[in-house]
Structure 1
Amino acid sequence: MSYSIAAHPDRLLPAEPGVREIARSLYNRVAGLPIISPHGHVDAVTIEENLPFPDPAALLVTPDHYVTRLIHAGGIAMEKLGLGGQTSDSREIWRSFSAAWPQFEGTASGYWLRQEFEHVFGLHEEPTEENADRIYDMISAKLGEPGFRPRELFKEFNIEVLATTDDPLDSLDSHAALAADPAFAGRVLPTFRPDQYLNIAHPAWQDNVERLMAAGSGAAGYTGYIEALESRRRHFVQHGGVSADHGVRTPATLKLDPSDAGRLFERARAGKATPEDCEAFEAHMIYQMARMSVEDGLVMTLHPGSYRNHHGPTFEAFGADTGHDIPFAVNYTEAIRPLLQDFGTAKDFHLVLFTLDETVFSRELAPLAGFYPSVYIGAPWWFLDAPDAMLRFRSAVTETAGFSRSSGFIDDTRAFCSIPARHDTSRRIEAAFLARLVAEHRISEERAHELIVDIVDASPRRVFKL
């Protein structure tokens, strides 16, 4: 039987027939399990209001910096892709994407998009310059169907839990509405994301802190700031939140005396903080976030290692999250030690450590997770959430930390329609890795079947306290 690339039942499974047969059996064991997505960036309003998705370009091209960055690298100006609030014709954006489609061969983005075209939109042909308008019209027609609204797709995708990423001062009204709606069976959970309130180098930090403290207890200074953060975390817990996420430049942590932290805080509010002050204060606040997680139970996730807005002119013209965030090497062992000295063995504290530096997986994260009860290894993220990188991750961490110390798959996506493709990919990769261990007589096939269920389903529930 002939299949398209995206429809082949053995896609991503091992090429050797005997190993592939084992992997196929393992994949089939978990293919139908519900999707647990404990970290992502889909807006809860999208699910609550259940409005139709926008046009094809606004859904699949413009908001996806994986896509726009590669088109831009091929010579297409950013303003022609609708970025930075620029008004661009959606059909023209789609034509640029279709012309650039060959550039996506071999990339994770190309794989996700192929899966979406085939399994979500029912398309069985590749985008080209010649068929761009026809495919645009086909997707547009699909977007207009009643069954293609976010809530209907939530059910069709078999999503059980979907975590969003939210500003500390968000009212979380959409989350409350979904939780109270008897017609909606899924769970949409908020995630506390305080980066712009912790990083005093952020341009909006002073304004954010003033708004934060106005919503707090009324206490002044650094004490009021800390109390306000604690209060907002409680608000998230009351609305079903299970985790607090931190996007930081480095994983540095620092325990400061409250008086020293207070002096740093006041210098920052006065606009007099030095670069060294910024680094010290953020490192101290990550330590404080860990302390708060020990107290309120929110799982703490740490996402360091990205040089944000690498190209200044692009940032000035088009803003953040437009494709020029570039990974750099990080040091976890020394940087995270002050936090782990006090909280690494704290009861019920869960700390999930992510990286964009693959060398860290085997050298630092696996050994840390192999000792500290609090530490879990975050799944491959961002530039690493690709088939080959997922295999490298599993191989790098398992020999030291085993299977139980990893987070389970994290899709970390704004692209709602790519969620099933991403989770399916992870399940296939886990099946491929386990099949090799079975074929090499390193684990039994019976045990592999138990492990893959734990990796796909039990791990994210356990790590994120679901």
Structure 2
Amino acid sequence: MKKLFLNDTDFLLQTGTAQQLYHSFAKSMPIIDYHCHLPPDQIADDKQFGNLTQAWLYGDHYKWRAMRTNGINERFCTGDAPDFDKFQKWAETVPYTLRNPLYHWTHLELQRYFGINETLTGQNARRIYETCTEQLQSPTHSVRNLLRQMNVETVCTTDDPADSLEHHRKIADEQAAGSDFTINVLPTFRPDKSMAVEHAAEFNRYVARLEAADNSSITTFDDFLGTLARRHDYFAGMGCKLSDHGLEQIYAADYTEAAVRAIFDKVRSGVDLSGQDVLTFKSAMLVYLAEMDWEKGWTQQFHLGALRNNNSRMLAQLGPDTGWDSIGDFSQARALARFLNRLDTSDKLAKTILYNLNPADNEIMATMIGNFNDGSVAGKVQFGSGWWFLDQKEGMERQMNALSNMGLLSRFVGMLTDSRSFLSYPRHEYFRRILCNLFGNDMENGELPDDMEWIGEVVQNICYGNAKTYFGFSSKPLAAVV
């Protein structure tokens, strides 16, 4: 029998067993969003969006790419068109996104946040826009209530070492004073700019930001490391438990401390470095930063494989993170093995999550993690969930199948949003339905035992329990437990 599109009961769930796994075990699990790009100031201020475009289209390069491909002028993506006109152009694009995950995400978000069960088109755009905007202007749809609505327990934002974390502090202080907002909002240490020595002038401007944040002077490489270590300590004091790196590939060249100091002196003098000097410096910094994470028991994350800023004309016009990136075909295995082995040899390998953007690297990542899982922690080194271009149905299935075949899917820490939008949390539901469908189909086919209680527990752990244990998160806000 033909199924209804996006039917609440069995969407993506092909069997009765899959439906039972989802509805009885996965659906009600709280969400731990351990990697995202949500702006913490909007959580601290409990922002109220003025309209649906502000909540849904601002900053969303996924949608911009689709609109451009559909022939929509840039004025309606990142330009100065009125907010409703931008939404109208998005609504006209949606029917053309069939079989793109945007089609599913769009309608899941309309259903879950706004109770709208019809498909979005150019014809009903005005009515849907006004209905959603009216709800967004109500206190029931403030930023904090959007998080509550999706049963979010923990949010880990992505923050530069030079950030003040003032908004995290504001939230924590409110919670310590008895606020009814009980969701953990924690920073993540993202030190990419501290390694970005390709352009001396930009790097030195960044060092000045670090100096201001730490109220210190950075003259030598030791000063530089000391400042980063103090910022690392500051983040830890604010409840941080994770770092993150966005890299094309891991850097693992040999280096000496003397060579790294000399390179630092050179770039501080304003001299642009050779390619070999850049590689040497980045390789050393990855190790120094990884050792800081190990000392604190943090988890380090590596997002690998994005080929960024490919359209130089549009980069100059709009800047980075506006939709001009793609999957890269970088060599990953050998340098990654060298880097992890260097840390493991000195017994300073922190808990680690590896994310690949090129699906051709799935089996590389799934086997690499097994080289460094030493029995000290269940799933110490993780193959991270399908990321960016791969956080769609097929991408998630391929990642989980590779992990199942070559590791332990049962120890997987599950899904994250990696999003800048407060309306993106149905992606966790999307993942959970796909996960339950994989297990359910195997149970129906006799490839797994008909043990609903045990497999249901495994599903719950992948959705929630594994992450909670792995990261050491509390159910209570940081301010309530310190």
TM-score under structure 2 length normalisation? 0.90
Q: CA deviation at 1:87?
A: 2.3
Q: Which residue of 1 aligns with 2:57?
A: 61
Q: Is 2:404 the partner of 1:398?
A: yes
Letter in 1 for 2:206: N
Q: Which residue of 1 aligns with 2:273?
A: 273
* CA displacement, residues 159-201 of structure 1 (integer Å, 9 cap, x when unaligned): 1001101121111121122123222111001011111221112
Q: Is 2:133 the partner of 1:151?
A: no
Letter in 1 for 2:70: G
Equivalent pair of 1:344/1:375 in contact (CA under 8 Å): no
Q: 1:380 aligns with which of 382, 386, 390?
A: 386
Letter in 1 for 2:219: A
Q: Which residue of 2 aligns with 1:31?
A: 27
Q: Which residue of 1 aligns with 2:343?
A: 343
Distance verdict in 2 for CA 1:179–1:455, change over 3 Å:
same
Q: CA deviation at 1:456?
A: 0.9
Q: Which residue of 2 aligns with 1:316?
A: 316
* CA displacement, residues 227-252 of structure 1 (integer Å, 9 cap, x when unaligned): 11111111100000110111112122
Secondary structure of 2:409's partner? coil
Identify the range of structure 1 (217-226 vs 91-100) with the bigger mean alpha-carbon deviation. Answer: 217-226
Letter in 2 for 1:193: R
Q: Is 2:444 the partner of 1:439?
A: yes
Q: CA deviation at 1:3?
A: 8.4
Q: Is 2:423 the partner of 1:424?
A: no
Q: Which residue of 2 aligns with 1:365?
A: 365
Equivalent pair of 2:107/2:120 in contact (CA under 8 Å): no
Equivalent pair of 1:369/1:405 in contact (CA under 8 Å): no
Letter in 2 for 1:43: P
Q: Which residue of 1 aligns with 2:197?
A: 200
Equivalent pair of 1:67/1:109 in contact (CA under 8 Å): yes
Secondary structure of 1:351's partner? strand
Give the 5 Å matches for 1:141-220.
141-181=134-174, 182-183=178-179, 184-201=181-198, 204-214=202-212, 215=214, 218=217, 220=219
User: 2: CA distance between counterparts of 1:305 and 1:12?
Assistant: 29
Q: 2:105 aligns with which of 89, 112, 129?
A: 112
Give the 5 Å matches for 1:288-299.
288-299=288-299
User: 1: CA distance between counterparts of 2:228 and 2:396?
Assistant: 35
Equivalent pair of 1:294/1:343 in contact (CA under 8 Å): no
Equivalent pair of 1:352/1:378 in contact (CA under 8 Å): yes
Q: Which residue of 2 aligns with 1:96?
A: 89
* CA displacement, residues 70-101 of structure 1 (integer Å, 9 cap, x when unaligned): 111122222332x2xx4221111111111111
Letter in 1 for 2:43: I
Q: CA deviation at 1:279?
A: 3.0
Letter in 1 for 2:207: V
Q: Which residue of 1 aligns with 2:464?
A: 457
Secondary structure of 2:294's partner? helix
Identity of aligned residues (%): 27
User: 1: CA distance between counterparts of 2:211 and 2:410?
Assistant: 40
Equivalent pair of 2:10/2:19 in contact (CA under 8 Å): yes
Secondary structure of 1:6's partner? coil
Secondary structure of 1:300's partner? strand
Letter in 2 for 1:258: E
Letter in 2 for 1:350: K
Secondary structure of 1:33's partner? coil
Secondary structure of 2:20's partner? helix
Equivalent pair of 1:354/1:379 in contact (CA under 8 Å): yes
User: 2: CA distance between counterparts of 1:244 and 1:91?
Assistant: 38
Q: Which residue of 2 aligns with 1:17?
A: none
User: 2: CA distance between counterparts of 1:58 and 1:325?
Assistant: 23
Q: CA deviation at 1:117?
A: 0.8
Give the 5 Å matches for 1:132-147.
132-147=125-140
User: 2: CA distance between counterparts of 1:227 and 1:87?
Assistant: 44
Letter in 1 for 2:46: N
User: 1: CA distance between counterparts of 2:218 and 2:2?
Assistant: 69
User: 2: CA distance between counterparts of 1:264 and 1:179?
Assistant: 40
Distance verdict in 2 for CA 1:158–1:324, change over 3 Å:
same
User: 1: CA distance between counterparts of 2:189 and 2:317?
Assistant: 29
Q: CA deviation at 1:4?
A: 5.7
Secondary structure of 1:336's partner? helix
Secondary structure of 2:356's partner? coil
Q: CA deviation at 1:405?
A: 4.7
Letter in 2 for 1:353: L
User: 1: CA distance between counterparts of 2:383 and 2:352?
Assistant: 9
User: 2: CA distance between counterparts of 1:168 and 1:47?
Assistant: 20
Letter in 2 for 1:343: L
Q: CA deviation at 1:54?
A: 3.3
Q: Which residue of 1 aligns with 2:234?
A: 235
User: 2: CA distance between counterparts of 1:251 and 1:344?
Assistant: 15
Paired residue total:
456
Identify the range of structure 1 (333-342 vs 390-399) with the bigger mean alpha-carbon deviation. Answer: 333-342
Q: Is 2:419 the partner of 1:413?
A: yes
Q: CA deviation at 1:220?
A: 2.7
Q: Is 2:331 the partner of 1:331?
A: yes
Q: CA deviation at 1:359?
A: 1.9
Letter in 2 for 1:253: A
Equivalent pair of 2:352/2:381 in contact (CA under 8 Å): yes
Gapped runs of 5+ residues in structure 1?
A: 15-19
Secondary structure of 2:398's partner? helix
User: 2: CA distance between counterparts of 1:76 and 1:205?
Assistant: 36
Equivalent pair of 1:375/1:405 in contact (CA under 8 Å): no
Q: Is 2:74 the partner of 1:78?
A: yes
User: 1: CA distance between counterparts of 2:218 and 2:111?
Assistant: 56
Q: CA deviation at 1:284?
A: 2.4
Secondary structure of 1:247's partner? strand
Equivalent pair of 1:370/1:405 in contact (CA under 8 Å): no
Secondary structure of 1:354's partner? strand
User: 1: CA distance between counterparts of 2:316 and 2:472?
Assistant: 40
Equivalent pair of 1:353/1:365 in contact (CA under 8 Å): yes
Equivalent pair of 1:305/1:328 in contact (CA under 8 Å): yes
Gapped runs of 5+ residues in structure 2?
A: 374-379, 474-482
User: 2: CA distance between counterparts of 1:432 and 1:156?
Assistant: 24
Secondary structure of 2:154's partner? strand
TM-score under structure 1 length normalisation? 0.93
